[in-house]
């Protein structure tokens, strides 16, 4: 028996980052949006697909043959265009998710995972969170646990702030560290182009640079007024909590793509562009092609552009490719949700 889940990448239509807290974290308020670029996560009992010793992307944590009985045994095979530089050992978020679920459910951690990566790594698209979410969904089904998505989401937050959203997809306001979710209904589809950059950007490094730029007065803080304080409602941390602008939520609820494009913003963009100045050219190329809006996705370096429709997406792709300012492009739509295949 095996179970496969298709889990989407996410973009942030709006990302507001609060000041550095004494504990080293930042509060944030964001609009998460899941788009149609998917990793596939398959889970099967370990003894149905033993480790492939010829495959350098396979790791067998317990070593040796599949374990009989109740012994924990988790192994992982990675493939797909973005599997190359990822750890396939116990540090992989998908493997950590399997162990976390098994411990919480009180069952042996026994699974062989295959993760097919189409989501670029460390690209601001939450690919690792998607794989963790996929592993939770697949092992929940494989082991017959019958946990609800809400119950899985509580566990998902211990694996990473984006993992709860990756479990549900769609469009949602995220507050706290991103793990507190309020779903939003968006009518119809939004058309996006992703401009995938060469190389990676580390999320902690981008946060550090943002703090430095703000300290030096070279990057703006979160907007202070005229906002809907969803963050303070959800997190209960008072009126200064970072928040999402109510007009973006109105534009999304109305399906008004032009207005959504005008209001897209990302507080991490200044830091990502400072670390990777070539992103400024990518952003210009997409905007000159008439994108309704264009920003860095999350901590970058992927840039995301909103198009009017599918034909407009193809025009933006052509302009980006002609400009030579990115490594690859992806035409996607949102919102989408994870699904079993
Ligand atoms: P964020 O959720 O912060 O936006 P990101 O999308 O920029 O993250 P990811 O692709 O999730 O970045 O990868 C972040 C880090 O997690 C990488 O350094 C990577 O080595 C590590 N990692 C562990 N497991 C995985 C996985 N299954 N897929 C991707 N990255 C993983």
Q: Give the integer Cα–Cα distance in Å for 94 and 116.
A: 12
Q: State yes or no: 130 annotated in a binding site.
A: yes
Which residue owns the Cα nearest ligand 1 atom 11?
128
175 Cα: distance to centroid of ligand 1 (angstroms): 20
Q: How close is the Cα of 124 to the center of ligand 1, in Å? A: 8
State residue 45's pLDDT score.
92
Q: What is the pLDDT of residue 35?
A: 98
Euclidean distance between CA atoms 5 and 131, whole angstroms:
9
Please indicate if the annotation marks 123 as binding a ligand: yes
Q: Residues 238-275: pLDDT tens digits?
A: 444 788 999 999 999 999 999 999 999 999 999 999 99
Cis ω for the linkage preceding 335 (within 30 of 0):
yes
Residue 331 has pLDDT above 50, yes or no: yes
190-229+255-334 to CATH, choices 3.40.190.170, 3.40.50.2300, 3.10.580.10, 3.30.70.890: 3.30.70.890
Separate counts of helices (H) and strands (E) for the chain: 11, 13
Q: Which of 201, 267, 294 is nearest to 19 (CA)?
A: 267
Distance CA 67, CA 73 (A): 6
* The residue to which tokens 């933006």 are assigned: 316
Q: From the CB of 128, is ligand 1 less than 6 Å away?
A: yes
Cβ atoms of 322 and 329 closer than 8 Å? no
Radius of gyration of the CA atoms of the chain, in A: 20
CA–CA distance, 114 with 41 (Å, rounded to integer): 6
Inter-CA distances, 119 with 39, 73, 176, 183, Å: 6, 26, 25, 23
Is residue 86 lining ligand 1, measured as CB closer than 6 Å?
yes
Task: Identify the residue whose C-alpha is closest to ligand 1 atom 15.
Answer: 122
Q: Check pocket membership of 121 for ligand 1, CB cut-off 6 A.
A: yes
Confidence of residue 303 (pLDDT cuts 50, 70, 90): very high
Q: Which atom of ligand 1 is nearest to the CA of 162?
A: 2
Torsion of CA 163, 177, 332, 171, to 10 degrees: 90
Whether 80 shows a pLDDT value over 70: the answer reads yes
DSSP-assigned beta bridge partners for residue 192: 306, 332
Of 39, 60, 131, 162, the catalytic one is 162
The answer, yes or no, to whether any atom of ligand 1 lies below 6 A from the CB of 178, is no
- Look at 182 and 72; give whichever has higher pLDDT: 182
User: Residue 128, annotated ligand binder?
Assistant: yes
- Ligand 1 lined by 228 (C-beta under 6 Å): no
* Annotated catalytic residue within 10, 131, 245, 267: 10
Tens of pLDDT along 121-160? 999 999 999 999 999 999 999 999 999 999 999 999 999 9
Q: State the closest ligand 1 atom to the C-alpha of 115, by its place in the atom list counted from 1.
A: 27
| Tokens 């809400």, located at residue | 150
Residue 91, number of CB atoms within 10 A of its CB: 10
- 162 as an active site residue: the answer is yes
| CA-proximal residue: ligand 1, atom 28 (nearest) | 128
Task: Note the pLDDT of residue 70.
Answer: 61
Ligand 1 lined by 94 (C-beta under 6 Å): yes
Nearest to 3 by CA among 55, 36, 62, 49: 49
pLDDT at 327 over 90: yes
| Res. 85 pLDDT band, cuts 50 70 90 | confident
3-state SS of 170-232 is: CEEEEECCCCEEEEECCCCCEEEEEEECCCCCCHHHHHHHHHHHHHCCCCCCCCCCCCECHHH
For residue 4, what pLDDT band results from cuts at 50, 70 and 90? Answer: very high
Cα-flanking dihedrals φ and ψ of residue 234, to 5°?
Answer: -75, -40
Burial (CB count <10 Å: 0-12, 13-18, 19+), residue 148: exposed
pTM listed for this prediction: 0.90
Question: How big is the CA angle at 232 (ends 226 and 236), to the nearest 5 degrees?
Answer: 165
CB atoms within 10 A of CB 217: 7
Tell me whether 0.90 is exceeded by the ipTM: yes
> Ligand 1 in contact with 125 (CB < 6 A)?
yes
* Tens digits of residue pLDDT in 10-62: 999 999 999 888 888 899 999 999 999 999 999 999 765 544 545 546 666 54
CA-nearest of 34, 33, 30, 38 to 14 is 30
Task: Please indicate whether residue 298, judged by its CB atom, sits closer than 6 Å to ligand 1.
Answer: yes
Classify burial at 228, counting beta carbons within 10 Å of its beta carbon; exposed 0-12, middle 13-18, buried 19 or more.
middle
The CA distance from 133 to 138, in Å, is: 9
- Domain extents for the chain? 2-178, 190-229+255-334
Residue 89 C-alpha to ligand 1 middle, in angstroms? Answer: 14
240 is catalytic: no
Q: What's the CATH code, domain 2-178?
A: 3.30.230.10
CB count in 10 Å sphere of residue 255:
14
pLDDT at 224: 55
CA of 259 to the centre of ligand 1 (A): 31
Q: How far is the CA of 258 from the centre of ligand 1 (A)?
A: 31
122 labeled binding residue: yes
């Amino acid at each position: 028996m095996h179970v496969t889940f298709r889990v989407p990448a996410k973009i942030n239509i709006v990302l507001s980052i609060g000041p550095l807290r004494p504990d080293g974290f930042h509060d944030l308020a964001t609009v998460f949006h899941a788009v149609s670029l998917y990793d596939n996560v398959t889970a099967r009992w370990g003894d149905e697909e033993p480790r492939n010793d010829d495959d350098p992307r396979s790791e067998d944590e317990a070593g040796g043959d599949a374990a009989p009985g109740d012994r924990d045994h988790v192994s992982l095979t990675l493939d797909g265009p973005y599997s190359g530089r990822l750890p396939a050992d116990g540090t992989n978020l998908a493997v950590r998710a399997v162990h976390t679920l098994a411990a919480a459910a009180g069952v042996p951690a026994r699974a062989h995972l295959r993760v097919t990566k189409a989501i670029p790594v460390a690209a601001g698209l939450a690919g690792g969170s998607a794989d963790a979410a996929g592993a939770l969904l697949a092992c929940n089904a494989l082991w017959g646990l019958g946990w609800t998505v809400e119950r899985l989401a509580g566990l998902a937050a211990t694996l990473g702030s984006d993992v709860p959203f990756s479990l549900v997809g769609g469009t949602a306001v995220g507050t706290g560290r991103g793990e507190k979710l309020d779903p939003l209904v968006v009518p119809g589809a939004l058309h996006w182009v992703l401009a995938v950059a060469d190389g990676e950007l580390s999320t902690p490094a981008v946060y550090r640079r943002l703090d430095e730029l703000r300290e030096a007065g070279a990057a703006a803080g979160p907007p202070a007024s005229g906002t809907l304080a969803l963050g303070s409602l959800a997190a209960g941390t008072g009126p200064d909590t970072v928040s999402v602008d109510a007009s973006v939520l109105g534009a999304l609820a109305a399906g008004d793509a032009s207005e959504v494009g005008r209001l897209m913003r990302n507080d991490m963009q200044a830091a990502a562009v400072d670390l990777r100045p070539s992103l400024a050219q990518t952003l210009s190329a997409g905007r000159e092609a008439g994108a309704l809006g264009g920003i860095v996705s999350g901590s970058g370096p992927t840039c995301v552009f909103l198009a009017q429709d599918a034909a407009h997406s193809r025009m933006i792709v052509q302009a980006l490719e002609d400009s030579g300012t990115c490594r690859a492009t992806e035409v996607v739509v949102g919102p989408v949700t994870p699904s079993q295949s």
